[in-house]
Structures are given as C-alpha cells and as structure tokens.
Amino acid sequence: MRMSDMVARYILDMLDEQGGAAEIRRNELATALGCVPSQINYVITSRFTPEQGYLVESRRGGGGYIRITRINTTRGVAIMHIVNAIGSSLDKATAEVMLDNMLSRGIIDVSTAKLMAAAMGERSYLGIPQQYRDAIRATVFKNMLLTLLDT
C-alpha cells in the first residue's frame, strides 16, 4: 500500500471513529505513520476536498491543528459536486480516487464502481491520441455520474 493510501485510510478511520470530524496534528500524524509532514498535506489537499465531501480547517502555530469534517449531503448533491469538480480534464489516478471516495461514502456500490473504473482505465482509451484521453475521460465520467442521478 502506498504511503498516501495509508495516510488517507488512517484519516478516514479517525473520521469514522469520531463521528465524521477529526482534529489532526500534522507533525504527530507524520511521526506516527513514518512519513514527512508534507505527505500529510498532499493527502489532505488531494483527497479531502469539498468536492469529495469534506470541509478542512487549519490553525497554525504551536497549538495548530487541521480539522477535517465529513459533510453530510444527499446523494444527488454529492454527485453534482463531483461533476462540477471534474472540469475539462481528468486523469486516471484522480478518477480512481473519486471512485474510492464515492464507494466509501455509499454514493455508489461495488459493481458500479468496478464498471466505472473499467471505463476510466487506460485500456479504454488506447485508440485515442494521448493528448485527448483526459478530456474524453472527463466527459465520459461526468456523463456516467449524471446518469446515476436518474437511478
């Protein structure tokens, strides 16, 4: 398991144990997980965004902390936040993180996640020139998400 996956899993476990809100001291967490503090920053900024259903607050200084709160929204609102967050380009790794987040939040089920992951994979775009793949992937992903609104 990659370090960023371990950090994300640790934070998600904290959120589950603490009812959807957790305060993290970056340096303490980095020491506990055996990584550098910048790795904690990277995971928080890439995987705990409002589009993915999280509110992040931070306070600097000696008693500083990072507070992460899971935003409780309806399935439709969560899907629309994700659609709006995608933009005009989407790489495979970002699509996988979004799918993992949607699966863990119960927005999609395992079979839907597998189908969507297959559509986001590089093999699905082999016949398309490299410079167009991420734009097409974004369009396909958005359309799949919008289709989920009808289910």
CA distances from 97 to 14, 26, 92, 103, 150 (A): 19, 22, 9, 10, 23
Say which amino acid occupies 64. Answer: G
Is the domain of 31 the same as that of 79? Answer: no
> What mean pLDDT value characterizes the chain?
89
Is the domain of 18 the same as that of 49? Answer: yes
Taking only the tens place, the pLDDT of each residue in 98-133 is 898 888 888 999 999 999 999 999 999 999 999 999
Tally of domains in the chain: 2
Is the domain of 81 the same as that of 47? Answer: no
Is the domain of 83 the same as that of 131? Answer: yes
The residue range of the domain holding 17 is 3-70
Is the domain of 65 the same as that of 15? Answer: yes
Taking only the tens place, the pLDDT of each residue in 46-96 is 888 876 778 899 877 666 789 999 887 788 888 888 898 888 999 999 899
What's the CATH code of the domain at 22? 3.30.56.130
Is the domain of 81 the same as that of 140? Answer: yes
What's the CATH code of the domain at 80? 1.10.1200
In three-state form (DSSP H/G/I as H, E/B as E, the rest C), the secondary structure along the chain is CCHHHHHHHHHHHHHHHCCCEEEECHHHHHHHHCCCHHHHHHHHHHHCCHHHCEEEEEECCCCCEEEEEECCCCHHHHHHHHHHHHCCCCCHHHHHHHHHHHHHCCCCCHHHHHHHHHHHCHHHHCCCCHHHHHHHHHHHHHHHHHHHCCC
Question: Of 13, 37, 70, at which residue does a domain stop?
Answer: 70
